[in-house]
Chains A and B, each alone.
Chain A
Amino acid sequence: ETGVTQTPRHLVMGMTNKKSLKCEQHLGHNAMYWYKQSAKKPLELMFVYNFKEQTENNSVPSRFSPECPNSSHLFLHLHTLQPEDSALYLCASSQGLDTYEQYFGPGTRLTVT
C-alpha cells in the first residue's frame, strides 16, 4: 500500500476552469515532487519542495501553481490550462533530496477540454 495519496484520481476540466490537485504523504518524508507523465514520454519533473521550501521549478508555465503548506501536503493549482496539459500528474516523496528512493502516489489523470 502506497503511503502517498492523491486526489482526485480523475479530473476533466475546461480551459477556463480553476481546479487543484492534492497530494498527501504519510511517510514522514521531507521532500515532495510533482511530475507530469504524458504517453510515451519521459516523466517530467515540474516542482520540488524540501522542508516546505521550493527548490526546483523546471520552467513550468505559470498556469501551474504549486503550494506546500507543510511537509506532508502538496497542492498543484491549475488555471486556464491548455489541451496539451492533459496528462497523468504524479506526486512523489522521499526522505531527503539525496535519498535514492522516491515513493509515488497513484496520480491524477487530467483531461483538459
Chain B
Amino acid sequence: GQNIDQPTEMTATEGAIVQINCTYQTSGFNGLFWYQQHAGEAPTFLSYNVLDGLEEKGRFSSFLSRSKGYSYLLLKELQMKDSASYLCAVRDSNYQLIWGAGTKLIIKP
C-alpha cells in the first residue's frame, strides 16, 4: 500500500530552527510537495521537489532523497505566524497526490 509518515506534532521556540520529516512509500514517484495549513484555512503550497537535493525559498527549505524515500521541511528564524500544520504529499505514478496526516507545529515565545 501507499503510505506517508510524518510526526503528529512538534513544538519549537520563536527565532529557532525546526525540521519536519516525511517518509514515504508509494507506487511510483512524480514529485513531493509541502503545504502549509493554518487552523480553519485552506492548505497553501510551500514547495515542490522532484530531484534529490535541497530547494531553498526564503526562510523555508525542502530536501529530498528519492533513494531513501525521505524528505524534510526546514523552517528557519521561526515566527509565531509559522504555527500551522505542515502537510507532506507525494504524487504517484498515476499523478495522484498521496497525503500525510500533517504535522502540527506549535511555536512558543
Residues in chain A within 8 A of chain B (CB atoms):
2, 4, 40-45, 48, 56, 90, 97-98, 100-107
B43's partner among A40, A44, A45, A90 (CB-CB below 8 A) is: A90
Complex contact B95–A97 (CB within 8 A): yes
What are 30 A-B interface contacts by the 8 Å CB criterion? Answer: A2-B42, A4-B42, A40-B8, A40-B101, A41-B101, A42-B4, A42-B100, A42-B101, A42-B102, A43-B87, A43-B99, A44-B99, A45-B96, A48-B96, A98-B95, A100-B31, A100-B33, A100-B48, A100-B91, A101-B45, A101-B48, A102-B45, A102-B97, A104-B42, A104-B43, A104-B44, A105-B42, A106-B41, A106-B42, A107-B42
List which B46-87 residues lie within 8 A (CB) of chain A.
Answer: 48, 87
Q: In the complex, A40 Cα to B48 Cα: how many Å? A: 23
B-side residues, CB < 8 A to A, are: 4, 8, 30-31, 33, 41-45, 48, 87, 89, 91, 95-102
Q: In chain B, what residue has the closest Cβ to A97?
A: B95
Of all chain B residues, the one with the shortest Cβ separation from A90 is B42
- Given the complex of chains A and B, what is the CA–CA distance between A107 and B31 in angstroms? 25
Assembled-state Cα–Cα distance A42/B37 (Å): 13
Minimum C-beta distance from A95 to chain B (A): 13
C-alpha gap A97/B95 in the complex (Å): 7
Could you tell me the distance between the alpha carbons of A42 and B43 in the complex, rounded to whole angstroms? Answer: 12
Least CB distance from B28 to A in Å reads: 13
Which one of B4, B42, B97 lies within 8 Å of A45 (CB-CB)?
B97
Residue of B nearest to A96 (CB): B95
Question: Given A41-B101, A104-B42, 13 other A-B contacts at CB below 8 A?
Answer: A2-B42, A40-B8, A42-B4, A43-B43, A43-B89, A45-B97, A48-B96, A97-B95, A100-B48, A101-B45, A102-B45, A106-B41, A106-B42
Q: Smallest CB-CB separation from A98: which chain B residue?
A: B95
Which residues of the other chain, B, contact A97 by a CB distance below 8 angstroms?
Answer: 95
Q: How far is the CB of A58 from chain B (nearest CB, A)?
A: 8
- The chain A residue with its CB closest to the CB of B32 is A100
**Chain B residues positioned under 8 Å from A107 (CB to CB):** 42
